Amino acid sequence: MKANQPAIGIDLGGTNVRAAVVDASGSVLSSYRQPLGAKRDPQSVLDLVCQAAHQAMAQAATPAEELVGVGIGVAAQLRGSSGMVAVAPNLGWREVPFGAMVAKDLGRSVRVVNDLEAICWGEVAFGAAHGFRDVLVVFVGTGVGGGLVLDGQLYQGASGVAAEIGHVKVFPSGRNCGCGGTDCLEAYLGGANLSRRLREEAEAGWSELMTLAKADPAAIHPGLVEQLHAQGDPRAKQLWSELAELFGTVLANSVTLLNPSALVLGGTVLSGCPRLLDLSLVVLRRQALAVALETLTIKPASLGDTAGVIGAADLARKDN
Amino acid sequence: MKANQPAIGIDLGGTNVRAAVVDASGSVLSSYRQPLGAKRDPQSVLDLVCQAAHQAMAQAATPAEELVGVGIGVAAQLRGSSGMVAVAPNLGWREVPFGAMVAKDLGRSVRVVNDLEAICWGEVAFGAAHGFRDVLVVFVGTGVGGGLVLDGQLYQGASGVAAEIGHVKVFPSGRNCGCGGTDCLEAYLGGANLSRRLREEAEAGWSELMTLAKADPAAIHPGLVEQLHAQGDPRAKQLWSELAELFGTVLANSVTLLNPSALVLGGTVLSGCPRLLDLSLVVLRRQALAVALETLTIKPASLGDTAGVIGAADLARKDN
């Protein structure tokens, strides 16, 4: 039966492309990952994406004609279900018809979703949120992104850009975000922006942080502040407290607005900074509507790096 | 055919109860409203609700057995679809099985929803948001409430308390909200809390406001600040600017998170303070994700006081 045939899931991030052949139970039969090179133009990236897909198919000994569908999660804001990438900041793209390009190259229709939508669907279908019908997934890695499953369905919004929680505005102290705006949550919490701020503060005199980085500004990352926090460093405590207030309040407001049954949290900044995460959850519990908290389950993401390809493959399967 | 028979819609607010017989096209065949008295215990309110329902049925010459269903919107946080009222601050209720009480009295099953959910559904089914599938409705009256229709369906959340936008947190200056928390949007923008603040400020020396109220603190309401704003009063300008920043940012963050196709705004504070509304929309447009704004239509609510009964009746009809 067609529904049991494998599908291919592709995760196109800001650094790597990963392709995997995934069966109907969410098991990864083969996976192939390669870094994006310096050339980020659509044609160069298309070539890498299709190479990765063919490598994964070859590894799983699954010819293209046996695949039930192709799904791609892209770190981008998309235009509805058209496969058109409106803005992909990490790739430097604007208005690229990437879905159509991949479909032409692979010779079959392709479902393009946001990378966090793919991860969210993966975690709901086969991961931490399995069995939950109303789920908010938030990942804090290089950037800050979210995905929503509502009433059991992936919720993409009117034009396909729902759940952009990284661009929710926090209090106005004026930090710039990669989206061109100021005071987005991501401007404070996203790993790239946070690391830049930490480098600035280390160079401006946060000597404990600079020492921990062995005087190499390029080695500074949020995990070092987590270490300083564990040692009782007052500046680390103040910074984590400030960021927890922001992040916890944004999570709380999302819970108040959406009343999800599950909140799934993941990404390298959160997994690398458990104290920051714990402090944020204290703020969340203080700030969210009490009756919405009563029925909320909070869980760490469970599929790791493969959530995106698993989710993208399963979304493609649902289309066919 | 049963689906064309009228349904009864009831709107139980903090001040009045309104019952209406509504046909399948959303037309109000009869409507009866009465104020709630000083006695707010569940049995007293039940008696008034059932009286109003019988009055409306009598006016429309529609016997109970011809009704296709009964729907009630209550200004309360509910426990899922059970008809259980978890918290109704204006009525002073906690854990009241109001749906079951009304069903027993009227002799038929009853659908109980939040008052803003009923209004939201009314505006989507027959009002300002007709034809839109992803809609956020926000009303600023005595309190601040919201309703969500996502993918064409009323979205109530995992436990029935979604869209409580009045309790989204804003920047921490410490104002108390009727929910027991601090810094909810409603603590700043809700008509009851805002009027209290204005009375305090008038008594503490805002002489222009006190003069406009003819020295009667009880006559102070947000519309007077709107008048002062039109006259260029600097304090009115500062206050409206502060509130617009809060309200516009909360609206923007909701648009960023949900990517709705329509945002419908209503309620006495907004209809009475068009300058405050305009300033808030400027902030919304500055703060929301650009690609989500592109596809957003912003409209005033169009059904007035009858949105709640029309929506409640139609939701009851959908159940049958």
Q: What is the pLDDT of residues B208-246, one digit of tens each?
A: 999 999 999 999 999 999 999 999 999 999 999 999 999
The mean pLDDT value for B154-180 works out to: 83
Asked if B159's CB is within 8 angstroms of A295's CB, the reply is yes
A93-96 vs A84-88, strand pairing mode: antiparallel
Q: Which residues pair with B195 in a beta bridge?
A: none
Does the structure show a pLDDT above 60 at B3? Answer: no
Does the distance separating the beta carbons of B253 and A159 come in below 8 Å?
A: no
Q: What is the mean pLDDT of residues A56-74?
A: 92
**How close A63 comes to chain B (CA, Å)?**
36
* CA pair distance B15, A176, nearest whole angstrom: 46
Give the distance from residue B79's alpha carbon to the nearest chain A alpha carbon, in angstroms: 9
Q: Which of A114, A124, A159 to mutate to test the interface with B (most CBs of B within 10 A)?
A: A159
Confidence of residue A1 (pLDDT cuts 50, 70, 90): very low
- pLDDT for residue B1 is more than 60: no
CB proximity A237 to B under 8 Å? no
Q: Answer whether residue B89 shows pLDDT above 90.
A: no
- Residue of chain A nearest B76, judged by CA positions: A291
* Residue B66 identity: E
CA gap B227, A111 in Å, rounded: 54
CB of B225 closer than 8 Å to CB of B277: no
User: Do residues A207 and A112 both lie within one domain?
Assistant: no
CA pseudo-torsion sign A189, A191, A196, A201: positive
| B198 touches B224 (CB < 8 A) | yes
Determine the Cα–Cα distance for residues B136 and B133; give it in Å rounded to an integer: 10
- Determine phi and psi for B10, rounding to 5 degrees: -125, 135
Contact criterion met (CB < 8 Å) for A257 and B161: no
| Nearest residue in B to A134, CA atom | B158
Q: Do A294 and A154 belong together in one domain?
A: yes
The answer to whether the Cβ–Cβ distance between B146 and A254 falls below 8 Å is no
Q: Which of residues 139-178 of B touch A (CB under 8 A)?
A: 146, 150-151, 153, 155-165, 167-169, 171
pLDDT given at position B173: 67
Give residue A89's pLDDT.
81
Q: How many CA atoms lie within 13 A of A63 on its CB side?
A: 1
- Residue A164 to residue B261, Cβ atoms within 8 A: no
Q: Do B163 and A257 touch (CB under 8 A)?
A: yes
**Do residues A23 and A93 share a domain?**
yes
Q: Measuring CA to CA, how many Å separate B287 from each of A167, B122, B251, B256?
A: 9, 29, 9, 9
Check if B84 contacts A (Cβ < 8 Å): no
A109 versus B149: the higher-pLDDT residue is B149
Same domain, A198 and A137: yes
Q: Do A291 and B150 touch (CB under 8 A)?
A: no
pLDDT for the residue A108: 85
Is the CB of residue B259 less than 8 Å from the CB of residue A159?
yes
Q: How far apart are CA A176 and CA B240, in angstroms?
A: 26
Q: Which residues, including other chains, have CB under 8 Å from residue B253's CB and lie 6 or more apart?
A: A168, A169, A250, A253, B168, B287, B288
- Least confident among A188-192, B27-31, B174-178: B174-178
pLDDT at B172: 63
Higher pLDDT, A266 or A181: A266
Cα distance between residue B74 and residue A164, in whole Å? 32
Residue A174, min C-alpha distance to chain B (Å): 13
Verify that B104 and B201 share a domain, yes or no. Answer: no
Grouping H, G, I as helix, E, B as strand and the rest as coil, residue A265 is strand
Residues B280, B315, single domain; the answer is: no
Q: Are residues B295 and B309 in the same domain?
A: no
**How far is B153 from chain A, CA to nearest CA, in Å?**
10
Q: Do A260 and B167 touch (CB under 8 A)?
A: no
- Residues A71 and A95 occupy one common structural domain: yes
Q: State the average pLDDT for chain B.
A: 92
Question: Domain tally for chain A?
Answer: 2
* DSSP string over chain B: -GGGS-EEEEEE-SSEEEEEEE-TTS-EEEEEEEE--S--SHHHHHHHHHHHHHHHHHHTT--GGG-S-EEEEESSEEETTTTEEEEETTTTEEEE-HHHHHHHHHTS-EEEEEHHHHHHHHHHHHSTTTT-SSEEEEEESSSEEEEEEETTEE---SSS-TT-GGG-B---S--B-TTS-BSBHHHHHSHHHHHHHHHHHHHTT-HHHHHHTTT-GGG--HHHHHHHHHTT-HHHHHHHHHHHHHHHHHHHHHHHHH--SEEEEESHHHHH-HHHHHHHHHHHHHHS-HHHHTT-EEEE--SGGGHHHHHHHHHHHHH-
CB B16 within 8 A of CB B315: no
Give residue B211's domain range: 132-301
**Contact at CB, B253 and A253, closer than 8 angstroms:** yes
- pLDDT tens-place string over residues A202-228: 999 999 999 999 999 999 999 999 999
Return the amino acid letter for A273.
C
Q: CB distance B168–A257 less than 8 Å?
A: yes
**A183 plus A295 within the same structural domain:** yes
The pLDDT score that the predictor gives to residue B235 is 97
Average pLDDT over every residue of B14-18? 90
In angstroms, the CA B138 to CA A74 distance is 32
B46, B142: one domain: no
Q: How much is the pTM? A: 0.90
| Residue B229: CATH number of its domain | 3.30.420.40
Q: What number of H helices and E strands is found in chain A?
A: 12, 13
Mean pLDDT on B116-144: 94
Q: How far is A173 from chain B (nearest CA, A)?
A: 12
Interface confidence, given as ipTM, is 0.89
Which residues sit opposite B153 in a β-bridge? B150
A131 interface with B at CB cutoff 8 Å: no
Q: Identify which of A158, A181, A259 has the shortest CB distance to residue B261.
A: A158
Q: What pLDDT shows up at residue A172?
A: 63
User: If residue A109 lies in a helix (H) or strand (E), which one and from where to where?
Assistant: none
Domain identity same for B152 and B243: yes
Least trusted range by pLDDT, from A11-15, A215-219, A235-239, B39-43 = A11-15
Contacts of A134 in chain B (CB under 8 A): 157-158
CA gyration radius for chain A?
20
Judge: A157–B260 Cβ closer than 8 Å, yes or no: yes
Tell me how far apart the alpha carbons of residues B320 and B299 are, in angstroms, rounded to a whole number: 31
Do residues B112 and B179 share a domain?
A: no
Report the distance separating Cα B125 and Cα A29, nearest Å: 47
A51 touches chain B (CB under 8 A): no
User: Can you tell me the mean pLDDT for B254-271?
Assistant: 94
Q: What is the pLDDT of residue A3?
A: 57
Contact B259 A162 (CB under 8 A): yes
Q: Do A168 and B134 touch (CB under 8 A)?
A: no
